[in-house]
Structure 1
Amino acid sequence: MYSDWLAQWMEAKKDRIDPDAENEYWDAIKDHKIQKEIPKLNDEGEINLPPTDGTPYLKVVCISDTHEQLHNVTVPDGDVLIHAGDFTNNGKREELIKFNEEMTRFPHKYKLVVAGNHELGFDHDENQSDRQDQDKGLGTEEGYNLLTNVTYLQDKEIVIDGVKFFGSSYHPLRGFPFYRTRARELKECWRAVPNDTDVLITHTPPLGYLDQFGDERWGCRDLLSTVERIKPAYHIFGHVHERHGCLFNDHTYFINAAQCNKGNVIQTRPFVFYIPKKTSS
């Protein structure tokens, strides 16, 4: 189980899981950041309501971190379903096939998926010698090719009725696929995000926004800078199970859509939002 692995890793490390966590940097800048907590309006998980003036819109449903338990998640219907990664525990072929099949039960016309750090084998450039011993030799090389029922986004965009969605999986947690170094490689990675992105989908949170694991900040400062510069309407992510929630900084809704709690047990807690279309369908 993921929770057993996490406990073993924490004991082995005996200090910080992420020794490069930028707690001190966040403490230095946090007083200048806007963070308004946005509660869900109802059990469906809506954080806003659809336009009432006849404006065409997309209903977008967000989930993440289902860890081979998608069958236990109650997903509201809608136009777009987003999964922000960690749909498996270690990228096994049979679990990828199962996830791909399970996604067909949802009625959404568009199903957008990014990989998480647990999708072993998805990252062409991963240094597998850095993996934890229990992960070595696991995963499915180019396993994303098995995801035939969804749109897999890795440094890619898709435009739906004029609304631009962009997805990417990079993160700053060592020992996993899509790990990149802070303040150097990650800064270059985020340059790929288009300036006109409306909905950004990543696995990692930005620094300081729903990213706290214990006393560590697992978010990325360069991702935060990118979001603040581009100002997408929504930024969807997961990764840090215990920080499920939504914050708003007057420009962007930051949504941590993790479905599992700290103990890796599904809570069934999707988010739903409505975004106006920019073209007629």
Structure 2
Amino acid sequence: MFSSIFKSSEPKPPPQNFRGTRPEEPTEPSKEDIGPLPPNIYVAPNAPAYKPAPNWLRMVCISDTHNTTDANNYPIPEADILVHAGDFTKMGTTAQVDQFICWLKSLTHIPIKVVVAGNHEVILDKEFYEQHWHRFHTTKEDYQAAVDKLKSAGHGIIYLNNESYTVDGAKLLHKKYQKQKKQSSTKKMTQPAGADAMDIDTSAVVELRDGWVEGYRIWASPWQPEYWEWAFNEVRGKLKDIWKHIPEDTDILMTHGPPKYHGDIVPEDKELHVGCEELLERLKVVRPLYHVFGHIHQGYGVSEIEWDGGSHSTVCINASTCTERYRPLNQPIIVDLPPK
């Protein structure tokens, strides 16, 4: 998809069948081994069964699912938070947005799902869609209706567009514990005499604000450097006007596209780095704990940027679920977050 984006200044129409697979193409292997990982970061399903402590948060990172995932072909492990870094549809239709929302609602084992759009979500970029809808859709659809669907979806779905969201970790864990406790009590009452009872370790009780000063602060943006003409594109050199709004107290940064030099290589373009240089410059100021993104499917994996000689670092996670051929083979990346 990105093999010739810098070889011509002429915009090209979106592919009609963006999967682009041919019968003779070989099956792609899944990337379950992506090399050494920083502490408390895992590739599913290789994460420990339990978090280091009950008051930690487990975060699942995915991106670029393109309406290809369901419970049968792409199981999502249990967690406290799911973050999705965009391109959740194929061609940004309202029906595809609905399909994505239904899938998120099915993830009842994850209380909070934080979502940002990507360049494929053309209907969510109002100005762009007004000018270019005919290149993507046969009939013009309702931008506001699509946005409202995401914002009012409920079920813990949080849609962000250059916005912040603070995860109230203590409240989230307390509610989750209460739900598990209720489920345990119900199962005990319905079990026959003598049956093994499912129980919850009472030491796992998480009281409100126990060990928490404030929740993790997430800021998310769908923008990326332009290529051809897709949604949420901006000319290189002007993206700093967007990135300057990233709050300096951001803990988890979500952008659809990568910063330069991290998860941004397109191999067929002679190892060309296509990430955003202005975003990298802003990272030097904000220095978030984690930066989750996607967009460049081939860049799936984890890297680190060290600050102040290694005393602090930002973990960069390209969580692209789909491979270059749009198959959902890359496993979710899991992060265990300690109390702040």
TM-score (norm 1): 0.79
Query: Could you tell me which amino acid in structure 2 is paired with residue 252 of structure 1?
Result: T
Q: State the shift of 1:171 in Å.
A: 0.6
Q: 1 CA distance for matches of 2:231 and 2:282?
A: 22
User: Residues 58-108 of structure 1, C-alpha deviation per residue, up to 9 Å, x if partnerless?
Assistant: 100000001111213221110000111111011111111111111112111
Correspondence for 1:63: 62
Instruction: Rate the CA distance shift 1:134–1:41 in 2: closer, same or farther, 3 A.
Output: closer
Distance 1:164 1:119, change over 3 A: same
Q: Is the 8 A contact 2:222 2:232 kept in 1?
A: yes
C-alpha change, 1:182 and 1:45, in structure 2 (3 Å) is: farther
- Contact 1:57/1:277 (<8 A) preserved: yes
Task: Identify if the C-alpha distance between structure 1 residues 88 and 17 changes in structure 2 by more than 3 Å, giving closer, same or farther.
Answer: farther
Correspondent of 1:201 among 254, 264, 274: 254
Contact 1:112–1:152 (CA<8 Å) still a contact in 2?
A: yes
Question: 1:81-96 alignment to 2 at 5 Å?
Answer: 81-96=82-97
Q: 1:111 — aligned with what?
A: 113
Gaps of 5+ in 2: 12-33, 170-214, 307-312
Q: Give the alignment partner of residue 123 of structure 1, picking from 119, 122, 125.
A: 125
**C-alpha distance in 2 between matches for 1:226 and 1:136:** 39
Looking at structure 2, the residues matched to 196 and 231 of structure 1 have their Cα atoms a distance apart, in angstroms, of 9
Deviations 1:175-200 (A, max 9, x none): 1111111112x101011111010000
Cα deviation for residue 276 of structure 1 reads: 1.8
The 1:91/1:232 distance shift into structure 2, 3 A limit, reads: same
**One of 209, 220, 228 as aligned partner of 2:284:** 228
SS at match of 1:126: helix
Alignment partner of 1:238 out of 276, 294, 299 = 294
Q: Report the AA paired with residue 182 of structure 1.
A: R
**Per the alignment, do residues 188 and 14 of structure 1 end up closer, same or farther by CA in structure 2, a change over 3 Å counting?**
closer
Which residue of the partner structure matches residue 161 of structure 2?
Answer: 154
Contact kept in structure 1, 2:124 and 2:147, CA below 8 Å:
yes
* Larger gyration radius, structure 1 or structure 2: 2
In structure 2, the CA distance between the partners of 1:198 and 1:113, relative to structure 1 (3 Å rule), is same
What residue number does 1:25 align with?
A: none
Q: 2:127 aligns to what SS in structure 1?
A: coil
**CA distance in structure 2 between the partners assigned to 1:141 and 1:255 by the alignment:** 30
- Checking the alignment, whether the CA contact within 8 Å between 1:128 and 1:136 is kept in structure 2 is no
Shift of 1:128: 5.3
Superposed CA RMSD: 2.9
- The correspondence of residues 48-59 of structure 1 with structure 2, limited to 5 A, is 50-51=51-52, 54=53, 56-59=55-58
CA distance, structure 2, for counterparts of residue 182 and residue 101 of structure 1: 35
Shift of 1:44: 2.0
* Partner-residue secondary structure (3-state), 2:288: coil
- Is the 2:253–2:288 contact (alpha carbons within 8 Å) kept by the matching residues of 1? yes
**In 2: Cα distance, 1:164 partner to 1:18 partner:** 39
Q: 2:326 is aligned with what amino acid?
A: N
Partner residue in 1 for 2:328: 266
Q: CA deviation at 1:173?
A: 2.2
1:1-16 maps to which residues of 2 (within 5 A)?
6=1, 10=4, 15=7
Amino acid at match of 1:225: E
In the alignment, which residue of structure 2 is the partner of 1:99? 100
Partner Cα distance (1:130, 1:45) in 2: 43
Query: In the alignment, which of 166, 187, 203 is matched to residue 240 of structure 2?
Result: 187
Q: Output the CA distance in 2 between the equivalents of 1:210 and 1:115.
A: 18
Amino acid at match of 1:206: P
1:77 aligns with 2:130: no
Whether the aligned pair in 2 keeps the contact of 1:45 and 1:272 (CA below 8 Å) is no
Question: How far apart, CA to CA, are the structure 1 residues paired with 2:93 and 2:100?
Answer: 11
Distance 1:126 1:93 in 2: 16
Q: Secondary structure at the match of 2:7?
A: coil
> What is the letter of the counterpart of residue 226 of structure 1?
R
2:82 partner SS: strand
C-alpha distance in 1 between matches for 2:249 and 2:289: 10
Q: Which residue of 1 aligns with 2:226?
A: 173
Q: Match of 2:242, SS?
A: helix
1:93/1:249 CA distance change after superposition, 3 Å: same
Q: Aligned residue for 1:145?
A: 148
